[in-house]
Amino acid sequence: MNYIKNIWITRYFWINLALSDIRSKWRRSFFGVLWTIIQPLGMTILLSVVFSKIFNTDATSYAPYILSGMIVWEFITQALMSGSMSFIQADAYIKQYKTPLAIYTLRAILTNLITLLLASISLITWALITNPQNFNYSWFAAFLIYPILLLISWPLSTILAYLTARFRDIPYALTLALQAVWFISPVYIQDTVFRSSGLNSLIDYNPIYHLLEIVRAPILRGSFPTIENFTYCIIVIGIFFLTAFLCGRQLERKVIFYL
């Protein structure tokens, strides 16, 4: 409880760090923050044309599926990659000030969460224009994706940050792991393709699928996510927080020596 209290006490510090990262990300850029909307829309148009030809589907209806997977997956990859390096990048602060190390991974997660919020504008706008009939009360459930992603990515990034401080090969291994997860997850490829190939286990037991369903079920189909979707997310959150807690007890005081 004291650890959580100290995170709250230092909230102005890590919030300002996150906002500073956001400002520097688009500094001297002509379009600035609009790139969070332009970039996923551009990639969605390209990929929807290609994948619709491959899977013989309508590009207009396939585009929101790709866009929803793109912005969520982009958050996951960027949050974990930046989170894994957060202790190393903040070594000057860590060596000078005694603060909970979890604030530095929280800083990375908040930066990417703000980017996700902005990128979501493109998905919401596209869905309202192409499929206005799906707009109903179930859309409120889709906004739960933000706290759920925060609660999943924060402890996982903290675990990775502890490991990266000790083993600098972790970011490279993480890149390979994320690529492998991408190939077995319905990020761009529809889950029906996996099921028709007899790969039901890659869908039913894949946390990425359940995360994406929290967004896709309301926005793309106008229905509420299932209890199963939320259950898997809660289980993953519990596992990651417990693991992060155990890693912190063992490694928090050693990180400064690894740096």
**CA 202 centroid distance within chain:** 19
Residue 159 has pLDDT above 90, yes or no: yes
pLDDT of res. 144: 93
Percentage of residues in the chain having pLDDT higher than 90: 31
pLDDT of res. 109: 93
pLDDT tens digits for range 128-146: 887 888 888 888 888 999 9
Contact call for residues 211 and 68 (beta carbons, < 8 A): no
pLDDT of res. 151: 94
Q: Look at residues 17, 29, 32 and name the one whose alpha carbon lies nearest to residue 104.
A: 17
**pTM of the predicted structure, to 2 decimals:** 0.89
pLDDT of res. 230: 93
Average pLDDT score over residue span 53-78: 84
Q: Look at residues 173, 175, 159 and name the one whose alpha carbon lies nearest to residue 105.
A: 159
Residue 9: pLDDT band with limits 50, 70, 90: confident
Residue 118: pLDDT band with limits 50, 70, 90: confident
Question: DSSP of 215-251, one letter per residue?
Answer: HHHHHHHS-PPPHHHHHHHHHHHHHHHHHHHHHHHHH
**What's the distance, Cα to Cα, between the start and end of the chain in Å?**
26
Average pLDDT of the chain is 86
pLDDT of res. 31: 67
pLDDT of res. 196: 81
pLDDT tens digits for range 11-50: 888 888 888 878 777 777 766 777 777 777 778 778 777 7
Average pLDDT score over residue span 212-220: 91
